[in-house]
A = this chain, B = another copy of it.
Amino acid sequence: MTAEILAVGTELLMGQISNTNAQYLSKRLNDLGINVYFHSVVGDNAARLKESLKTALGRSDMVITTGGLGPTQDDLTKETIAETMGLKLVQNEEIYQGIKNFFERINRQMLENNIKQAYIPEGAMVIPNNNGTAPGCIIEKDGKTVVMLPGPPKEMVPMFEETVFPYLEKRTGQTIGSKMLKVFGIGESEMEMKIIDIIGAQSNPTIAPYVNMGEVTVRVTARCRDADEAERMINPVIEKIRERLGTCLYSVNGESLEEVVVKLIIEKNISISVAESCTGGMLASKLVNVPGVSKVFSQGFITYSNDAKIDLLGVSPETLKTFGAVSRKTAMEMLRGLIRRTGTRAGIAITGIAGPDNAADPVPCGPAICTGHSRKSGKPAGLVYIAVYLDGKTECVELMLNGDRERVRHMSCLNALNILRKMILSTEEK
């Protein structure tokens, strides 16, 4: 079966909104094995909509439209499609009641033009809308199918999931199951190299990698008859991928790195505290965004200046003078001061240069910084030291991160969380 997506709305052509509906629907149709060959967008204009619809019906088995189902004069998708397909519009009692109830629920007056929304093409199946007044509908005629959905994603998505997806599953005799694998500590291309043969050998389940702000995601999607079969098909593939990626694979349920780490430390009852310089509270903020973290997280210190590092964490002024605030030694002293002060089982200290400018931070004699940056010009933006403590053991890493200020800080936090996660897992293995 081939399908295409036809979005209706002048606001899309004005660039006021992006056609995210097309992406969503394409993904889901592909999940079902339905080929999508075209997307198109047309404004709130009957003649151009009619032309686009005719073109679409001429070349595809199914056309899914989004938008133009509202109560105003501008909304003409239903009228135009009914006319193009030679169908009359008839009032549907069920929809009429639904709209009436909707207005009662939100305690507002139903308007004259909402009654227009209770009309659908004769013989069409209704797609109920529990989040708005515009119902959708499905028309089957002359071997072609037209599915009409409203434009707002908040209404469109639930309507597609609750009514259209099951309808299409029945028609294609298939369902899909999918799991979202999350990966950290390995680049997208390196990961692809490691699993490219698994990706190539698979057509069902399919394996699709994505990347976003330093976090790599792999979606494993199976086309099958039911959820049990999906599990049986997906799990062996995940295990194969895990063999290759090891602990870089940190979640098979789409969780964020901070969710996984917070879950882990709550489970193991590991109290934690943080001391942040260049990340300036971002790491603590990520931890705090996970509900339940109060069981293990009590306090954090943002020591942005040298004085704060000395006063709050007991970093030695001599260290700062000789090695600079952005140095392995300072990170280690921040960490030691933090643990001395809080007595938590785990601790993280971060110091670095978020940029955009390089820092005049002193460069000691000794091992050069990995970029080969010259001594004279100080330390480069993106240089970060992360020290992590867990039950008496300490690790400290030096990173050269690229990107803008926000990305350097974000990646510093993710790396810190990942180091702690690996330390906890390696303790477990023993």
Within 8 Å of chain B (Cβ to Cβ): is A299? yes
Within 8 Å of chain B (Cβ to Cβ): is A397? no
| Residues A38 and B39 in contact, CB atoms below 8 Å apart | no
Within 8 Å of chain B (Cβ to Cβ): is A66? no
Within 8 Å of chain B (Cβ to Cβ): is A36? yes
Binding site for B on A (CB under 8 A): 7, 12-20, 22-30, 36-43, 45, 48, 52, 55, 208, 210, 274, 276, 278-285, 287-289, 291, 293-294, 297-305, 307-308, 311-312, 354-357, 405-406, 409
What residues of chain B lie closer than 8 Å to A406, measured between beta carbons? 289
Q: What separation, in Å, do the CA atoms of A283 and B280 have in the docked complex?
A: 9
Q: What separation, in Å, do the CA atoms of A208 and B294 have in the docked complex?
A: 43
| Residues B30 and A15 in contact, CB atoms below 8 Å apart | yes
Q: Which of B23, B208, B300 contacts A302 (CB 8 A)?
A: B300
28 A-B residue pairings within 8 Å (CB atoms):
A12-B23, A13-B37, A14-B26, A14-B30, A15-B25, A15-B27, A18-B19, A18-B23, A19-B22, A19-B39, A38-B40, A39-B39, A39-B40, A280-B288, A281-B281, A281-B284, A281-B285, A281-B288, A281-B300, A285-B285, A291-B357, A291-B405, A294-B304, A299-B301, A299-B311, A300-B304, A301-B301, A301-B302
How many copies of this chain sit in the oligomeric assembly?
Answer: 2
| Residues B288 and A285 in contact, CB atoms below 8 Å apart | no
Take A16-B210, A299-B302, A406-B289 as given contacts and tell me if A42 and B37 are in contact as well, using a CB distance cutoff of 8 Å: yes
What residues of chain B lie closer than 8 Å to A356, measured between beta carbons? 291
A370 to nearest B CB, angstroms? 17
Q: What separation, in Å, do the CA atoms of A42 and B291 have in the docked complex?
A: 43
Chain A interface main SS type? mixed
What residues of chain B lie closer than 8 Å to A354, measured between beta carbons? 288
| Residues A27 and B14 in contact, CB atoms below 8 Å apart | yes
What residues of chain B lie closer than 8 Å to A355, measured between beta carbons? 291
| Residues B291 and A281 in contact, CB atoms below 8 Å apart | no
What residues of chain B lie closer than 8 Å to A16, measured between beta carbons? 27, 208, 210
A290 to nearest B CB, angstroms? 9
What residues of chain B lie closer than 8 Å to A282, measured between beta carbons? 281-282, 285, 288
What residues of chain B lie closer than 8 Å to A22, measured between beta carbons? 12, 15, 18-19, 41
What residues of chain B lie closer than 8 Å to A285, measured between beta carbons? 279-282, 285, 409
Q: What separation, in Å, do the CA atoms of A18 and B25 have in the docked complex?
A: 11
Closest B residue by C-beta to A303? B299
A326 to nearest B CB, angstroms? 12
A76 to nearest B CB, angstroms? 15
Closest B residue by C-beta to A43? B37
Q: Which of A12, A276, A302, A308 has the most CB of B within 10 A?
A: A302
What residues of chain B lie closer than 8 Å to A308, measured between beta carbons? 298-299
A24 to nearest B CB, angstroms? 7
| Residues B278 and A302 in contact, CB atoms below 8 Å apart | no
| Residues B305 and A281 in contact, CB atoms below 8 Å apart | no
Q: What separation, in Å, do the CA atoms of A127 and B84 have in the docked complex?
A: 42
What residues of chain B lie closer than 8 Å to A409, measured between beta carbons? 285, 288-289
What residues of chain B lie closer than 8 Å to A20, measured between beta carbons? 18
A258 to nearest B CB, angstroms? 11
